[in-house]
């Protein structure tokens, strides 16, 4: 009952106060009907996340899985800015015991984005997600499929099993779910980061593009 009361309170608060981003859009003279619809969808997702938790099937959770501050990041491995921001959000999660970092890959830039995303998620079956993920984060140039497979071998991943899992229906559906959810959340620029609390009434923060560790840390701690 306490959890349902919390969701009810959050629903009321979100509808009446709105997020910082939505309010900014209104002040700038944005279309009220489209903002209202977008906000309603955001509220539904927000309360669903509080009640049921972020869908682990469509995301990778690091930091404290029970943290009250959820930082949700949409990114593409081919995006240099995303690689930079992932290192920042991971550092925030490492330095704050109350932060739950949820990363959701959205392969939007080109066909190799799809190949990379499928490979990293498929690597989980061999317990190699973290190894391949962080190798890719260290890349400073365009990632070809050959380079991807070279990194996978360096991470001691069985390539035959990896390619088999990459073509699984679950992996493909997972990525489609991430893309769908990113669109529902209004993501049109990556990296996109959402931050909110689950233990008290607070607005949702939204960031796009690069942010310094200091700025992101201060904003999240202000929730």
- 107-162 confidence digits (pLDDT tens): 999 999 999 999 999 999 999 999 999 999 999 999 999 999 999 999 999 999 99
Q: How many CB atoms lie within 10 A of CB 206?
A: 20
- With contact defined as beta carbons under 8 Å apart, do 190 and 89 qualify? no
Q: Which domains does the chain have, with CATH numbers?
A: 1-52 (no CATH), 53-221 (3.40.30.10)
Entry pTM: 0.73
Return the closest-CA partner of residue 45 out of 196, 220, 201, 202: 196
- With contact defined as beta carbons under 8 Å apart, do 212 and 50 qualify? no
- With contact defined as beta carbons under 8 Å apart, do 87 and 55 qualify? no
Band (44; pLDDT cuts 50, 70, 90): low
- 148-191 confidence digits (pLDDT tens): 999 999 999 999 999 999 999 999 999 999 999 999 989 989 99
Mapped to the 3 state alphabet, what secondary structure does the chain carry?
CHHHHHHHHHHHHHHHHCCHHHHHHHHCCCCHHHHHHHHHHHHHHHHHHHHHCCCHHHCEEEECCCCCEEEEEEECCCCHHHHHHHHHHHHHHHHCCCEEEEEEECCCCCHHHHHHHHHHHHHHHHCCHHHHHHHHHCCCCCCCHHHHHHHHHHCCCCHHHHHHHHCCHHHHHHHHHHHHHHHHCCCCCCCEEEEEECCCCCCCEEEECCCCHHHHHHHHHCC
The pLDDT of residue 12 is 45
The pLDDT of residue 40 is 52
**185 alpha carbon, distance to own chain's centre:** 11
Phi/psi at 100 (nearest 5 deg)? -110, 115
């Amino acid at each position: 009952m306490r959890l349902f009361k919390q969701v009810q309170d959050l629903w009321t608060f979100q509808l009446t106060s709105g997020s910082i981003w939505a309010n900014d859009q209104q002040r700038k003279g944005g279309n009220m009907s489209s903002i209202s619809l977008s906000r309603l969808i955001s509220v539904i997702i927000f309360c669903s996340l509080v009640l049921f938790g972020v869908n682990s099937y469509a995301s990778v959770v690091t930091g404290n899985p029970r943290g009250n501050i959820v930082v949700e990041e949409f990114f593409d491995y081919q995006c240099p800015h995303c690689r930079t921001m992932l290192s920042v959000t991971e550092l925030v999660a490492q330095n704050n015991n109350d932060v739950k970092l949820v990363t959701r890959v959205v392969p939007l830039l080109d066909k190799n984005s799809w190949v990379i995303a499928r490979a990293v998620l498929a690597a989980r079956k061999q317990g190699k997600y973290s190894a391949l993920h962080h190798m890719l984060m260290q890349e400073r140039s365009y990632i070809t499929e050959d380079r991807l497979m070279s990194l996978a071998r360096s991470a001691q991943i069985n390539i035959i099993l990896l390619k088999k899992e990459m073509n699984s229906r679950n992996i493909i559906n997972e990525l489609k779910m991430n893309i769908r959810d990113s669109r529902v959340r209004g993501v049109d620029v990556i990296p996109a980061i959402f931050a909110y609390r689950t233990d008290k009434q607070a607005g949702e923060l939204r960031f796009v593009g690069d942010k310094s560790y200091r700025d992101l840390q201060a904003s999240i701690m202000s929730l």
